[in-house]
Amino acid sequence: MKDIVVSSSPHVHSPEDTPWIMRQVVYALIPGALVGVYFFGIPAITVIAVAVVSCVVIEALWQKLTKKDITVTDGSAALTGLLLAMNLPSGSPWWLVVLGSLIAIIIGKQVYGGLGNNPFNPALVARVFLLISFPVHMTTWPQPRSFFSQAADTVTGATPLGALKTAIFEHGTITAAPGLNLMDPFLGNVGGSLGEISALALILGGIYLILRRIISWHIPVFYIGTVAVITGIFWLMNPDAYADPAFHLISGGLMLGAFFMATDMVTSPITYKGKVLFAVGCGVITVVIRFWGGYPEGVSFAILIMNALVPLINKATKPGKFGAQ
């Protein structure tokens, strides 16, 4: 008889493995990335390519230097690269992207022991690091144009949330902010990070992930829902000082954050109950920063702060075991 294998049960396994999951998330990001490429042109492609390649290379090099197994084939480094690119302005210089990748992979992930052990979303760690260290680069937003009419000089401008914040700082009321057709941020025709501009494209990708059962609906629905409810209450109380909820939902990084960043499996709670708590926390912090914080946008900070609470949330929401009295 030929050699047979002896190992513990079960002896069969679902075909859905980690690389498969990572691939599904990449597929789900494609619509959002394509919108970015359409409106920001070749520079967007460059940022994506540099981020993905440098994340993969940096992870492989780190693992080689630290004599660990090289696990870049699990797809997580490539996904981190893509997510980082989605969170950067399309005009980011190459060195900024490489630096971000370095921070994401080394500081965000590998120092904790690599995939599965990092408490914070690596792409967001990098984004926030860059935002604090290179505020000018990180808030220089090229304005969207059709891919087919890309001219040589890029015009830059504010994001809708940035314009809102400026109006409040300078005039104490949002009515001074330039009017915005909500269809623009829905389709992506606004300034912003490369991958956050089109709510529609991100929602489509998010729905794909939910249908494929990669993520559950709890985090996006409760995150977006919390933002809608709180901004709605304040808007009803004082529409001159607070923008309406529709504006808050589809501008800025909320959709990217709610569907793709807050749902990162490693850094979000494990149970449904925990996910709901986590998402509500993300929503509250996002609104607090948007309303009263120094930054116009609070999604990245909100998710990172809630990431830190995940172990506690997991502990508090441990499922009641079968047969518990």
Partner 1 sequence: MKTFKGGIHPPEEKDLVKNNPIVDFPLSSTFYVYIQQHLGAPAKPVVKAGDEVKKGQALSEPLGFVSAPVHAPTSGKVKTIAKMVHPVTGLLAPCIVLDADGNDEWAEGLPLKRDPFSMTREELIGAISSAGIVGMGGATFPTHVKLSPPKDKTIDVFIVNGAECEPYLSSDHRLMLEEPERVIGGTMIAMKILGLNTATIAVEANKPDAIKLLQEKVPPEIKVEPLKVKYPQGAEKQLINALTGREVPAGGLPMDVGAVVQNAGTCVAIYDACAKGLPLIERITSVTGRGIRQPKNIRVRVGTPVKEVIDFCGGLNDAAKIIFGGPMMGIAQFSDDISIMKGTSGVLVLTEKDTNISNYGACISCGRCVEACPMCLVPSTLSKLGEKSMWEKAMNNDLLDCFECGSCTYVCPANRPIVHFIKHLKALQRAASAKKKGA
- Residues within the interface to partner 1 (CB under 8 A): 1-2, 4-14, 16-18, 20-21, 71, 74, 76, 113-117, 216, 265-271, 318-325
Please, what is the minimum distance in Å from the beta carbon of residue 232 to partner 1?
30
Between 173 and 216, whose beta carbon lies closer to partner 1? 216
Least distance to partner 1 from the beta carbon of 317, Å?
A: 10
In the complex, the smallest distance separating the C-beta of residue 114 from partner 1, rounded to whole angstroms, is: 6
Question: Among residues 10 and 294, whose Cβ is nearest to partner 1?
Answer: 10
Q: How far is the CB of 16 from partner 1 (least distance, A)?
A: 6
Shorter beta-carbon distance to partner 1: residue 101 or 110: 110
Nearer to partner 1 (CB atom), residue 221 or residue 288:
221
Three-state secondary structure readout of the chain: CCCCCCCCCCCCCCCCCHHHHHHHHHHHHHHHHHHHHHHHCHHHHHHHHHHHHHHHHHHHHHHHHCCCCCCHHHCHHHHHHHHHHHCCECCCCHHHHHHHHHHHHHHCCHHHCCCCCCCCCHHHHHHHHHHHHCHHHHCCEECCCCHHHCCCCCCEECCHHHHHHHHHHHHCCHHHCCCCCCHHHHHCCCCCECCCCCHHHHHHHHHHHHHCCCCCCHHHHHHHHHHHHHHHHHHHHCCCCCCCHHHHHHCCCHHHHHHHHCCCCCCCCCCHHHHHHHHHHHHHHHHHHHHHCCCCCCHHHHHHHHHHHHHHHHHHCCCCCCCCC
Minimum distance between the CB of residue 2 and partner 1, rounded to whole angstroms?
A: 7
Residue 8 or 149 having the CB closest to partner 1: 8
Nearer to partner 1, 14 or 149 (CB): 14
We find the least distance from the C-beta atom of residue 285 to partner 1, in angstroms, to be 21
